[in-house]
Amino acid sequence: MRDKRSVTVLIALVITVLLLSSCALPRFVVVDDPLSPGEHINLGLSYERKGELDNALKEYEVASRKLAIAYYYMANAYFLKGEHDLAEKNYKKVIRKLPDNADAYNNLAWLYYTKKENLDEAEELALKALELKPLNKDAYQDTLDRIRELKETVQGQ
């Protein structure tokens, strides 16, 4: 009699477990991002090369949670989209977070040059880029020369 009762209890327990497991109870699944921040930047660069700037920006945004350099890539993408205010904001963020990033100084200077505004500041930014990374002199000097030419043209008017 005792074995029969044990079997009945066991069967009831199994049925209860099966019923509960088939119910639509909320389940929480924590998914870790399989990509590292650097991989998000690389994926963003791939999108950027294809002209998919919005997708690139999404990847840079994810990377920016852990890598400050992602703001540089975001700024470049915004510049390419013609969203200059967002580009400027992100270049300034890079400069604030990574003050030795010469490319950010140069690109912000170029942004001001293309907008034909803040030319004195643009000149200072290009000079700072040259100071920080003399090995990239050709590119930064070109930015500086163009800014100075534009300043002369504007002053001559």
Higher pLDDT, 92 or 18: 92
Residues 107 and 57 placed together within one structural domain of the fold: no
Last residue of a domain, one of 83, 108, 123: 83
Report the domain count for the chain.
Answer: 2
What pLDDT sits at residue 155? 83
Residues 125 and 154 placed together within one structural domain of the fold: yes
Q: Which two tokens stand for residue 23?
A: 């119910």
Residues 108 and 157 placed together within one structural domain of the fold: yes
Average pLDDT value for the chain: 88
Instruction: Give domain status of residue 21, yes or no.
Output: no
Instruction: Give domain status of residue 46, yes or no.
Output: yes
pLDDT band at 1 (very low <50, low <70, confident <90, very high): very low
For residue range 127-151, what is the model confidence (pLDDT) as tens digits? 999 999 999 999 999 999 999 999 9
Number of residues that this document lists for the chain: 157
Residues 112 and 153 placed together within one structural domain of the fold: yes
For residue range 37-66, what is the model confidence (pLDDT) as tens digits? 999 999 999 999 999 999 999 999 999 999
pLDDT at 25 over 60: no
Instruction: Give domain status of residue 28, yes or no.
Output: no
Alpha helices, DSSP H only, in the chain? Answer: 2-22, 37-49, 53-64, 70-81, 84-97, 102-115, 119-132, 137-156
Inter-residue contact 129 to 137 (CB < 8 Å): no
Domain that includes residue 115, residue range: 100-157
Residues 41 and 69 placed together within one structural domain of the fold: yes
Instruction: Please tell me the distance from the alpha carbon of residue 57 to that of residue 76, in angstroms, as a whole number.
Output: 10
Instruction: Please tell me the distance from the alpha carbon of residue 134 to that of residue 136, in angstroms, as a whole number.
Output: 5
Instruction: Give domain status of residue 154, yes or no.
Output: yes
pTM here is 0.78
